[in-house]
Amino acid sequence: MNKIYYEFLEKLISKSRKEKIDKVLSRRTRYIAVLLENIYQSHNLSAVIRTCDNLGIQDIYTIKSEKIKNSGKNVSLGAEKWVSIKSKNKDEKLFDYLNKIKKNGYKIVGTSTVKNNISCDITDLKLDEKLIFAFGNEEKGLSKDFIKQCDHIISIPMYGFAQSYNISVSCAIVLSNIIFKIRKSKKSIFLSKNEKEEIRNEWIKNSIKNSNLILKNIEKKRAWKDSNPRPPEP
């Protein structure tokens, strides 16, 4: 979309909204990302989206389940407007999809409660490279084929009778722990100038009701002007 169009949209939002966008954007990261495999319950997906937004994580990758159930609960509270959700194509093979993510510089960190799968505890995980944390569905966790492609498998400490956490709780525990450690280390994990500009434009658009219709009308007017130039003055 033409930069001029976004500059027009920016004039339609308040100064406080622009300041909020810039403040949140300054804390956003793609150094840490999340991947969800075959989540069944829509409210769990919504809760993860909200967690990522609150912790400053921009990208969520999804391998969607055909059995996903809509609980009718809007747990995300609109947070899906502020994160980038990237879904696997239906015909794309799992190996190819994960390999593409790895080529973007990520190490894939799976989560599991099966002792034989676990390679390290969450507290021992090294944070010197880009990491994408993968969470499986509510019943079985990550699939066996997915586990095989992980670079690390971590466990979350549990000290009670229950043998697992809810998917959204697991995600919140892991991500808050990791983000806290990275921020404490003062490692540079934030977005590039170009990434900020791209996301900022999207957030401005998402801040305005019927923004797509407004942009469409602007394009129509511009196209009409281009095809009907003003005649030169005599």
- What is the value of pTM for the model shown? 0.85
Supply the pLDDT for residue 29. 97
pLDDT confidence band for 162 (50 / 70 / 90): confident
Helix H segments across the chain?
3-10, 15-25, 42-55, 94-103, 144-149, 167-185, 193-206, 211-227
Supply the pLDDT for residue 226. 63
**3 state SS of 167:** helix
Question: Which pairs from 13-18 meet CB under 8 Å and 24+ separation?
Answer: 13/204, 13/207, 13/208, 17/207, 18/204
Distance CA 116, CA 106 (A): 23
Supply the pLDDT for residue 231. 63
pLDDT confidence band for 74 (50 / 70 / 90): low
Residue with tokens 């009701």: 209
Q: What is the pLDDT of residues 119-160, one digit of tens each?
A: 888 888 889 999 999 999 888 889 999 999 999 999 888 888
- Checking if the pLDDT of 110 tops 80, the result is yes
pLDDT confidence band for 222 (50 / 70 / 90): low
Supply the pLDDT for residue 21. 95
**3 state SS of 100:** helix
Distance CA 110, CA 120 (A): 11
Q: Which domains does the chain possess? A: 1-27+198-234 (no CATH), 29-185 (3.40.1280.10)
Is residue 10 within 8 A of residue 203, CB to CB? The reply is: no
Distance CA 187, CA 34 (A): 19
78 C-beta neighbours (distance < 10 Å), count: 12
Mean pLDDT of 75-85: 81
